[in-house]
A = this chain, B = another copy of it.
Amino acid sequence: MRLALTDEDRSVREWFRETAEDLGCTVTIDEMGNMFATLAGECTTVAPIAIGSHLDTQPAGGRFDGILGVLSGLEILRCIKETNVKLFAGLTVINWTNEEGARFSPGCTGAAVWSGHTPLKSALDRASSCATTTLGHELNKISYAGKLACDSRKNPISAHLELHIEQGSRLEDASCSIGVVNEIQGIRWFRVRVTGKRAHSGSTPLAERADALVAASKIVVLVEELCIKYGAFGTVGTMNVPNASPNVISGETNFSIDLRHPREATLSEMEDRIRHEMAILSTAKEERLSFQMNRIWHSPAQAFDPLLLEYIAQSAAARCGHDRYQSLRSHAGHDSALVALAEVPVAMIFVPSKGGISHAPEEWTDKQDCIIGADVLYNTVLKYDEYMRCCSQHQTGERLGTRKMLESFL
């Protein structure tokens, strides 16, 4: 258990810094506490290729989610150092702050600020789950509020690769070692508060009731119906009735909605349908019933970079054979989805999760699969670095931040 910005998080950050420095890296920290361990390349005018993920965890573990991505980056740095490989663009291994969002919800905060998705101030002001502190305060407390601007334009990278466990069982079911993650579905989180009229269960006729829990339950049922209709994922995970009692009609009910689909337009349509139904329910009760539905998180649907995907597929085919890897969609949210908003080429590699279990102490990926994953990742970095070297022969000395820019020189 290593919640973001706790003493445990500080310990692992210090270990990360020392390990990277021992490997010859320069470690920089930005305003969000994102850590960049950079090994310079031959060319000092292009941004480095990044391998990024996170070292924070959910309250009950596990030992692979995020951590595999950062540790495989360090392992690749070690390989480069030991084998004396000379990279063109250089490599930076990133530990993004608060990916899990378990302590400061929602997650992917460090990457979201870096890409311009979330303003720095709103991220630093974010309250902890028990509302006793803020993200900014805890960042200062563990001395990881850096001076470097948390801004993709001021601290650019030329690509972002992330090795991650699948957190599902598709790879295991298909006996594959590698998933080439071609897209990540969009995720929208809502916090809903229904306000009705608290009243005695025994003496309030049905027609006079404005029962917040009944209204909330109708929305739960609707979310399931919409998911069937649109082929989407939708979940009401939390539901809370303050001061509940068996013989009291609920005057307030709070719940969450988690909607996921690979197309933003579909997510918007589902959101509209939910808001429309809330308006109908409210009108039927002559406004004695009201809904507040706030979108508290949005991880955009992202198709990953075709060239990086091609390099991952080539590396996987070479490492483990054509029948041991497959393309798939990421259902969970990841830092990579946020990083991609900065128009940086991004792709992800999945390795199998035993039994699909994640966010639990039982989370497991066999050592062999971890090794294959890191090998494919390393090979992809090498291919992309080579690609950048080719591009650079056409460049004019400007710093290359995105492939869009790179290609403009071709």
Contacts and interface: CB of A to CB of B under 8 A. Distances in A.
Interface of A: 105, 167-168, 185, 187, 189, 200-206, 211, 213-214, 216-218, 220-221, 224, 227-228, 233, 235-241, 244-250, 253, 256, 258, 260, 331-333, 356, 358-359
A363 to B, nearest CB: 11
A358 B331 CA distance: 49
Contacts of A220: 213-214, 217
A133 B249 CA distance: 28
Max count, chain B CB within 10 A of own CB: residue among A213, A238, A247: A247
A203 B246 contact: no
B221 A214 contact: yes
Contacts of A332: 200, 202-203
A400 to B, nearest CB: 34
B245 A238 contact: yes
Assembly stoichiometry (copies)? 2
B260 A202 contact: yes
B235 A247 contact: yes
Contact of A206 (B205, B227, B253): B227
Contact of A217 (B221, B235, B333): B221
Contacts of A217: 216-218, 220-221, 236
Given A206-B224, A218-B221, A332-B203, A236 B260 contact: no
A247 B259 CA distance: 10
A26 B249 CA distance: 42
Contact of A202 (B205, B213, B253, B333): B333
Contact of A211 (B206, B213, B235): B235
A295 to B, nearest CB: 12
A202 to B, nearest CB: 4
Max count, chain B CB within 10 A of own CB: residue among A168, A216, A217: A217
A258 B201 contact: yes
A189 B246 contact: yes
Contact of A359 (B200, B333, B358): B200
Contacts of A260: 201-202
Given A202-B333, A206-B233, A241 B238 contact: yes
Nearest to A170: B203
A238 B228 contact: no
A174 to B, nearest CB: 15
Contacts of A238: 241, 244-246
Contacts of A239: 213, 239, 241, 244, 253
Contacts of A221: 214, 217-218, 221
A260 B228 CA distance: 35
A201 B237 contact: yes
A385 to B, nearest CB: 32
A108 B206 CA distance: 26
Contacts of A247: 235, 237, 258
30 contacts: A167-B200, A167-B203, A168-B203, A200-B331, A200-B356, A200-B358, A201-B233, A201-B258, A202-B333, A203-B233, A203-B331, A203-B332, A203-B356, A206-B228, A211-B235, A213-B237, A213-B239, A214-B236, A217-B218, A217-B221, A235-B247, A235-B248, A237-B246, A238-B241, A238-B244, A238-B245, A238-B246, A239-B244, A240-B240, A247-B258
